[in-house]
Amino acid sequence: MRTGRWARRGLMALLLAACALLSACGAGKPDKGERGETNPSAVVVGFSQLGSESGWRIGNTASMEQAAKKWGFGLMRANANQRQEKQIAAIRSFISYQVDVIVFSPIVETGWDNVLREAKRANIPVILMDRMVDVDDDTLYTAYIGADFLAEGRRAGKFLLKKADAMGAEHLNIVEITGTEDSTPMRDRQAGFRWAIDGDERFTIIDSVTGDFLRSKGEECMRYLLDKYGAQGIDVVYSHNDEMTLGALKVLEAAGIRPGQDMVLISVDAQQEAVEALKAGKINCIVECTPDLGNSVMEMVDALTKGKQIPKRNHPVEQAFTEFDDLSDLAPRGY
């Protein structure tokens, strides 16, 4: 931990106590959270979460909170509710509070250069969690930890190859429901999937629409696609997360279509509710994306505050769960 921060720490404790008393914390401003007000010497992590759009995201926030508690670190939290400008404002607050490390999940990849330069000038390391940024200078962040989204997309595509073989399919029309535009999982799940099926003439991606990782938008997208192509015109739905898949599934069932049988459904995340649908035969494949990153993040924070080097890119080990697997022993997902 850098010197000269002790006075700031006392001020921070006062500010956060006042913030709690007045209930004046806006969505882009740090929230009181599990801070170490009673222990001003604790390492302080400024954590900007991008929103609460999915079971995955809620699980990820919980993982961060639990891990900070376990490591005895103060966690200044801010939830940006899907707004980049709120994330930027939160990061600026963390800089002015002189936290030890900033952790954030960038909602989109572009538009971060200025605020990251400010963090670098303030000598505060930045860990990107879950999503990447697209910046000219990669020394603007210290490390990335999160899924290999390209590999996730490839796993989804590879499942489809196997499924098409099993079906003896000659031709399959695919619709894609993507996550938030310009976000890393959207870009890479899209690219990885295309990479896997590229050149195989059995497949045509007839449409790709954006569902923002939200269940409600997954419903809207599926309604739109069904109106446009009809049930007979769609063979496969590739959806970039479980929330949108569950929304699509609801629309299909309401239209008398049997998801998983009349249409192949491929999803990403493996949150519990979707795993139940997979076991019930309503989803054919779910590519795992784990939100359980908190402990690894805090390990990195600990190393950085002790002056140690950490690897630049860090990916958790993930897999795919499919209709071809025995899922009877699959442990509860916890999100």
Among 71, 73, 144, 213, binds ligand AHR (CB under 6 A): 213
To ligand AHR, the closest distance from the beta carbon of 60 in angstroms equals 8
Residue 184 or 322 with smaller CB distance to ligand AHR: 184
Q: What is the SS3 assignment for 303?
A: helix
Region of 54-62, 65-73, 245-253, 259-267 interacting with ligand AHR (CB under 6 A): 54-62
Find the Cα–Cα–Cα–Cα dihedral 251, 255, 256, 259, rounded to 10°: -30
To ligand AHR, the closest distance from the beta carbon of 67 in angstroms equals 18
Strands 203-210 and 264-269: unpaired
Among 56, 94, 112, 321, binds ligand AHR (CB under 6 A): 56
To ligand AHR, the closest distance from the beta carbon of 270 in angstroms equals 10
Phi, psi at 101, each rounded to 5° = -145, 140
103 binds ligand AHR (CB under 6 A): no
To ligand AHR, the closest distance from the beta carbon of 14 in angstroms equals 35
To ligand AHR, the closest distance from the beta carbon of 89 in angstroms equals 21
Nearest to 118 by CA among 213, 46, 190: 46
196 binds ligand AHR (CB under 6 A): no
d(CA 222, CA 245): 9
Residue 44 or 278 with smaller CB distance to ligand AHR: 278
Question: Is the Cβ–Cβ distance between 85 and 28 less than 8 Å?
Answer: yes
Name the token pair of 325: 């697997």
Find the Cα–Cα–Cα–Cα dihedral 281, 287, 291, 293, rounded to 10°: 140
State the residues that interact with ligand AHR by CB under 6 A: 53-54, 56-57, 130-131, 185, 213, 241, 243, 268-269, 289
